[in-house]
Amino acid sequence: MSGSRKISRRDILIHGGITAAGLAILPSHVLAQLARLGQDETPVAWSDDLSRPLNPDFPLLQWDELDSWITPANQTLKTDHYPDPEIDMSTYKLEITGAVRNSLSYTLDDIKAMPKKDIAFTLECSGNRGIRGFRGGVYNAKWTGTPLADILQKAGMLDSGIEVVFFGHDEGEEVMRPLRGKEVTVKQNFARSLTIDQSKDPDVLIAYNVNDQPLPPGHGYPLRLIVPGWYGISQVKWLKRIEVRTSRYMGRFISRDYVTLREEIHNGETVWRQVSVGKGRINSTPARVTRVGPTYRIYGAAWGVPIKEVQVRIDDGAWQTAEIIQGRDAKYAWKFWRLDWDRPSSGEHTITSRAISASGTVQPAPDDPFLKRKHTYWEANGQVTRKIQTVSG
């Protein structure tokens, strides 16, 4: 996030160059040039303690070190629910089954031979920011694959189908505790589902590349589902089977876990609403601050939904509109923003950001009733306030 205005980042990164439909990762010499542009900027450390990782061995994004719009593969978050599977590629096939006219199976080469699509998408863990210290569970990548809708069209979904379920090769044991009868232990594959209409979105991909390279084994090789605009739990890895179903799928990770419990008030009475985590929510955060002479530069990111604007408030002042410096035209990817803060008074200050979506939704304050009545840590997206110590002159 270099910020010197010697040349325009908009010209290099945005103006006709990077879009959600056709993203080219910047060559190393361009990135090196951008790094040099910021050499006159001195980093300023935050005075709070929000960047401390929950687990030093867990690969969380460090906001104050963020300098790349596309996250390198070795810096991307990896979470698992069952052990990583071992897949025999000599026999691997992706099956399309269920309520379809034509049951199909495809090798990896078959999928790669189909028309491909590139999408830049910021993938966020739905637990990001829900637990103290877990503040970097998000990254931005270029995904390449074939549209799911094309494959389902070839299979011919029957009118009786109501949803599409995606099964991964990863599996584990689950204990089922019925109200009556014996406790049962069963082996299940990780799975999530989309409605029929959601599965027809032309931007949902069966992906085989990330950042122009084959998916790493830990990130779903050979094939994974990419549902732009949804939380990470929906991005099923190590795809094994796609099944069109005539009844709702109620596996652990869609009905019992990754469920947001929220208190709602109806006619003065409390009603508890449980909703499976799905689409992303509007989010933003201040990431880093630098100093150029008497001017402080505040950088940050915004993501989760299509973003129209980002606003920043210093202390209890008025909200100011930040400049979006990278990713303006990317539908599903994060936006990098910047606000120049000229000659602040010496002392400790607070910096708060809020994003505004294309439809007018404003990122909520932490005391917003919508957040206060949420009783699970999933989908934490309140405004973030950071603290910084400045020196005038």
End-to-end CA gap in the chain: 24
272 domain residue, yes or no: no
- The verdict on 183 and 305 lying in the same domain is no
Residue 99 and residue 357: Cα distance in Å, rounded? 37
271 domain residue, yes or no: no
- The verdict on 288 and 322 lying in the same domain is yes
Pairing of the two strands 335-342 and 323-326 = antiparallel
User: Domain range spanning residue 95?
Assistant: 79-257
110 domain residue, yes or no: yes
CATH number, residue 203: 3.90.420.10
The answer to whether the pTM exceeds 0.85 is: yes
What is the reported pLDDT for 356? 98
263 domain residue, yes or no: no
- The verdict on 100 and 29 lying in the same domain is no
- The verdict on 240 and 345 lying in the same domain is no
Longest dimension (CA), the chain: 74
pLDDT in tens, 44-61: 999 987 655 556 556 688
- Residue pair 210/75 in contact by the 8 Å Cβ criterion: no
pLDDT in tens, 179-221: 888 899 999 999 999 999 999 999 999 999 999 999 999 999 9
Residue 172 and residue 187: Cα distance in Å, rounded? 5
- The verdict on 142 and 242 lying in the same domain is yes
- The verdict on 88 and 153 lying in the same domain is yes
- Kindly list the distances between the CA atom of residue 351 and the CA atoms of 285, 314, 388, in Å, as whole numbers in the listed order: 10, 5, 8
What is the reported pLDDT for 51? 55
In total, how many domains does the chain have?
2
262 domain residue, yes or no: no
Residue where a domain terminates, one of 226, 257, 288:
257
- The verdict on 84 and 66 lying in the same domain is no
238 domain residue, yes or no: yes
- The verdict on 66 and 83 lying in the same domain is no
H/E segment holding residue 151 = helix 148-155
- The verdict on 286 and 203 lying in the same domain is no
Mean pLDDT of 352-364: 97
Burial of 7 (0-12, 13-18, 19+ CB in 10 A): exposed
- Kindly list the distances between the CA atom of residue 138 and the CA atoms of 15, 27, 63, 116, in Å, as whole numbers in the listed order: 25, 23, 10, 25
CATH number, residue 19: 2.60.40.650
CA-closest candidate to residue 356, choices 309, 312, 304: 309
